[in-house]
């Protein structure tokens, strides 16, 4: 079964607020984590990734935090915009699956983010 899960299936925020999407994982061997965004009718889109030797990584308006002690991952979106409305997935990977290619990703169930004006 899947080893990655989400705390909340839905999240509603007001435009301009910050959003925090959480994810829990159970495989302590996982050493690489990725966040994807999926808009309706489209395939998932890469947002940001983080390796297990880091606990924080920032991108443009997004920050990913990794807490290996409690096996928790979060995605923070600053100044959330209507265009951020989508389903957000976390995914995990471990080096046992990865060689010259990425290997298998284990996806969480996703969180539906809705941004209202």
As a whole number of angstroms, the distance between CA 22 and CA 29 comes to: 19
For another protein, the binding residue among 53, 60, 69, 101 (CB under 8 A) is: 101
For another protein, the binding residue among 22, 24, 31, 49 (CB under 8 A) is: 49
CB of 98 to another protein, least distance (A): 6
Which of the stretches 13-21, 58-66, 76-84, 108-116 binds another protein when contact is defined by CB under 8 A?
A: 108-116
The Cα-based distances of 33 to 83, 100, 115, 117 in angstroms read: 23, 17, 25, 31
The reply on whether position 65 binds another protein by CB under 8 A is: no
How many residues in total does the chain contain? 117
Q: Secondary structure of 70-83 in the HEC alphabet?
A: CCEEEEEECCCCHH
The reply on whether position 53 binds another protein by CB under 8 A is: no
Contact 30, 92 (CB under 8 A): yes
Comparison of 11 and 33: residue with beta carbon closer to another protein:
33
CB of 45 to another protein, least distance (A): 7
Reference 30, options 75, 72, 89; nearest CA is 72
Residues lying near another protein in the complex (CB under 8 A): 2, 32-34, 41-46, 49, 89, 91, 93, 97-110
């Amino acid at each position: 079964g899947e080893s990655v899960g989400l705390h909340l299936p839905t999240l509603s925020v007001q435009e301009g607020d910050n959003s925090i999407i959480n994810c829990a994982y159970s495989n302590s061997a996982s050493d690489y984590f990725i966040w994807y965004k999926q808009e309706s009718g489209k395939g998932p889109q890469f947002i940001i990734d983080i390796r297990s030797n880091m606990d924080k990584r920032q991108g443009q308006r997004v920050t990913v935090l990794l807490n290996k002690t409690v096996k928790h991952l979060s995605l923070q979106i600053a100044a959330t915009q209507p265009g951020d409305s989508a389903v957000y997935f976390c995914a995990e990977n471990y080096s046992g699956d990865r060689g010259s290619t990425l290997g298998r990703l284990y996806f969480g169930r996703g969180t539906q983010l809705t941004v209202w004006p």
